[in-house]
A and B are shown apart, each in its own frame.
Chain A
Amino acid sequence: MEWELLAQQVLNGLTIGSMYALIALGYTMVYGILQLINFAHGEVFMVGSFAGLGTLLVIEKVAPGLSLVPALALALVAAMAAAAVLGVLIERVAYRPLRHSPRLSLLITALGLSILLQNLVMLLVGTEDRAYPDRFTEALQEGFDLGAVHVAWQQLLTLGVALAFMAGLTWMVQRTRLGKAMRATAQDPVTAGLMGIEADRIVALTFAMGSALAAVGGVLFGLNYSINFFIGTQAGLKAFIAAVLGGIGSLPGAVVGGLLLGLIEALGAGYVSGTWKDVFAFVILAVVLVFRPAGLLGRTVVEKV
């Protein structure tokens, strides 16, 4: 019986952890290039989740016969596009004018944006919980049993989609010209600029990609849980902790941090206490900051003098 509980919790942990990882990637990408914690990132995730819901509702109206996979793919693409536009807009309108302002101004702007977005969505959709259409969630709740461990399709789907996007991002950053330009800009924007890389464009692209990944996380979240205007705060905080745990600025770090955080939470909830589940993440944050602020895979960055 023991190992089955363990296996179940590991599976649950990896599922939620892969969503943390997707959001954490956005934090870490923006941080790597602008050294800015984008507080509004959690809200982008939330907006992405609602965009996915909206698309599915429209599909149910317009083409109720559309089968599961194309409908979900459509919702995913629409959510990613909406989030990418929102991300670019946020960068362009709120952050770019402040790039030479004190850090505190940027942080306050980011916080203000996050509150603004949250309450805008709340005015639009109300305060109550919303669920993705039953057709999708019910079908995905089924699955198969491995001994006493229940593996739901939605868990496999979440893990699969998340890993696919993470692999895609890694390939893009490591292998393509665009990825090289991004890495160059993150390391030294001035030199990169001299070499003909337009820093502004790269920054906008980073926001677009990070936001689209958050939207993937948002849609997957919506398939697993009910959503409301407030999910961005908690998810954003957890994802940030995941990014710090892995080493902020490091892409593999965000993935490892996300999965690890999901595992720790699931095991903590299973073996210690469900009520205090959220506290585990914060304890991890405290421990990392005290003993290894650079995170598991990060490097200590010395401020330039």
Chain B
Amino acid sequence: MRALVLRVLLVAGLLFLPAVLLALPQGEYQLDVAMTMLLYVALALGLNVTVGLAGLLDLGYIAFFGLGAYATAILMHGGPAQAEASWGWSYWMAVPAAVAVAGLAGLVIGLPTLRLRGDYLAIVTLAFGQIAKLTENNWDALTNGPQGMEVGKPILFGLELRAGWQLYYILLLFVLLVWWSVRNLNKSAIGRAWVAIREDEIAAASTGVNVPRVKLLAFVTGAAIAGLVGSFFAVKQGFVSPPSFDFIETVTILAMVVLGGIGSLPGVILGAGLLAALPELLRSLPGLLGLEGQFDVTPYRMLLYGAAMVLMMAWRPEGLLPDAHRRAELHPEDPSALPDKTEEVRA
């Protein structure tokens, strides 16, 4: 009950957030930071399905995000020719297509790899990330290469959604959809099967869990979520280009998952919120210390992520906010009325 109240309050807060932020000084900027945080929350929730719930290390995660973004850009504009927005698909048709493209890519990569030991998946997905970036940079006819492509804004009932707050609500819708879907999966037989393969693959297989299928489901779900968020990223930025989809982004999202708590939904949300806000904090830090423009904080950020991963695994592998789901309890209405097993099986 308390959890429900908390959840309603949280959603209400998120609904009114733009109004509050826009009332603050530098409101547009504040709103933009909030959107970045939400974007990372959605991405981290997706990666958590693959890494956290199923225990599969996906190091090409950001490439699926990139696929979603590029698919959206290309479908909306019919290629890099920068045709009028009216030429291509509407954003609302591009979104499911972007999800499908990313999910399909996940299927193609996962199918041969997931039969093998977990380490191979890490390497193959790392390689996939590199190929994806190479393709984005070099397949000019499709992606316009390093120059990138411009992307129009979504149009709803003839109205072009340009303002930050309008886009915010699209993102919020996506984030809630992702959160709800992942939470449902987590609490279902699918989520339990993921736990089973994470805990003991051999016992899982002997218990009837179709291990390759269940792994593939987790991998493709993560990829599809990344594709969905990518499609939003494309219209929010209004521009897609290869540097947005660097391996560093995968590392960032992985650090969020690890820091918050692998496999824990609240943990991952916390981790994503914290680390997404960190660069903003670090950016303002030199200013606060009177060292404006004296040094670039980006390398320290990556250093911090690397150190965080090593330290968390050594000292607190369950993360800041560990998984509470493992305590999910089962209360039959009337335990004394448990039926006699013998009858049923004999029949």
Residues of chain A touching chain B, judged by Cβ–Cβ distance below 8 Å, are: 36-37, 39, 94, 97-98, 101-109, 111-120, 122-123, 233, 237, 240-241, 244, 275-276, 278-279, 281-282, 285-286, 289-290, 293, 303, 305
Query: B43: CB under 8 A from chain A?
Result: no
The answer to whether B317 touches A116, judged by C-beta atoms less than 8 angstroms apart, is no
* A106–B312 alpha-carbon span in the complex (Å): 11
Stretch at the interface among B114-122, B185-193, B212-220, B324-332: B114-122
Give B140-180 as 1s and 0s: 1 = Cβ < 8 Å from A's Cβ atoms: 00000000000000000000000000000000000000000
Q: Per DSSP, are chain B's interface residues mostly helix, strand or loop, or mixed?
A: helix
* A286–B113 alpha-carbon span in the complex (Å): 8
Query: B281: CB under 8 A from chain A?
Result: no
- CB proximity of B264 to chain A, nearest CB, Å: 14
* A115–B301 alpha-carbon span in the complex (Å): 11
Closest to A277 in B: B134
- Which size class do B's interface residues fall under? 35 or more
Query: B302: CB under 8 A from chain A?
Result: yes
What residues on B are CB-neighbors of A305 within 8 Å? Answer: 202
The answer to whether B299 touches A112, judged by C-beta atoms less than 8 angstroms apart, is no
Stretch at the interface among B51-59, B70-78, B87-95: B51-59
What residues on A are CB-neighbors of B130 within 8 Å? Answer: 237, 278, 282
The answer to whether B138 touches A275, judged by C-beta atoms less than 8 angstroms apart, is yes
What residues on A are CB-neighbors of B254 within 8 Å? Answer: 108, 111
The answer to whether B313 touches A123, judged by C-beta atoms less than 8 angstroms apart, is no
Stretch at the interface among B18-26, B31-39, B99-107, B303-311: B303-311
A116-B310, A293-B120 known; 8 new pairs, CB 8 Å cut-off, are: A94-B310, A104-B57, A111-B57, A111-B59, A115-B306, A237-B130, A278-B130, A285-B124
Query: B123: CB under 8 A from chain A?
Result: yes
What residues on B are CB-neighbors of A233 within 8 Å? Answer: 247
B residues 248-277 with Cβ under 8 Å of A?
A: 251, 254, 258, 262
- CB proximity of A216 to chain B, nearest CB, Å: 23
- CB proximity of B295 to chain A, nearest CB, Å: 10
What residues on A are CB-neighbors of B134 within 8 Å? Answer: 276, 278-279
Closest to B314 in A: A97
- CB proximity of B120 to chain A, nearest CB, Å: 6
- CB proximity of B309 to chain A, nearest CB, Å: 3
Give B331-344 as 1s and 0s: 1 = Cβ < 8 Å from A's Cβ atoms: 00000000000000
What residues on B are CB-neighbors of A108 within 8 Å? Answer: 57, 254, 258, 309, 313
What residues on A are CB-neighbors of B317 within 8 Å? Answer: 101, 105
What residues on B are CB-neighbors of A118 within 8 Å? Answer: 302, 306
What residues on A are CB-neighbors of B303 within 8 Å? Answer: 115-116, 119-120, 123
- CB proximity of A170 to chain B, nearest CB, Å: 25
The answer to whether B112 touches A289, judged by C-beta atoms less than 8 angstroms apart, is yes
| Pairs A–B under 8 Å by Cβ, sample size 19 | A94-B314, A102-B198, A104-B118, A109-B314, A113-B310, A114-B306, A118-B306, A119-B302, A119-B306, A123-B299, A123-B303, A240-B123, A244-B120, A276-B134, A276-B138, A289-B112, A289-B120, A293-B115, A293-B116
The answer to whether A112 touches B118, judged by C-beta atoms less than 8 angstroms apart, is no
Are A107 and B251 CB-contacts (below 8 A) given A115-B309, A241-B127? no
- CB proximity of B241 to chain A, nearest CB, Å: 18
- CB proximity of A214 to chain B, nearest CB, Å: 17
The answer to whether A237 touches B309, judged by C-beta atoms less than 8 angstroms apart, is no
The answer to whether A115 touches B118, judged by C-beta atoms less than 8 angstroms apart, is no
Are A98 and B123 CB-contacts (below 8 A) given A115-B305, A278-B134? no
The answer to whether B122 touches A37, judged by C-beta atoms less than 8 angstroms apart, is yes
What residues on B are CB-neighbors of A37 within 8 Å? Answer: 119, 122-123
Query: B126: CB under 8 A from chain A?
Result: yes
What residues on A are CB-neighbors of B306 within 8 Å? Answer: 112-119
Closest to B258 in A: A108
Closest to A291 in B: B112
* A58–B20 alpha-carbon span in the complex (Å): 60
Closest to A293 in B: B116
Interface residue from B115, B118, B300, B310 paired with A103 (Cβ < 8 Å): B118
Query: B131: CB under 8 A from chain A?
Result: yes
* A62–B171 alpha-carbon span in the complex (Å): 61
* A120–B302 alpha-carbon span in the complex (Å): 10
Are A105 and B116 CB-contacts (below 8 A) given A237-B126, A237-B127? no
The answer to whether B299 touches A119, judged by C-beta atoms less than 8 angstroms apart, is yes
* A273–B123 alpha-carbon span in the complex (Å): 24
* A4–B136 alpha-carbon span in the complex (Å): 34
* A101–B55 alpha-carbon span in the complex (Å): 13
Closest to A31 in B: B119
Interface residue from B118, B124, B126, B299 paired with A122 (Cβ < 8 Å): B299
The answer to whether A303 touches B202, judged by C-beta atoms less than 8 angstroms apart, is yes
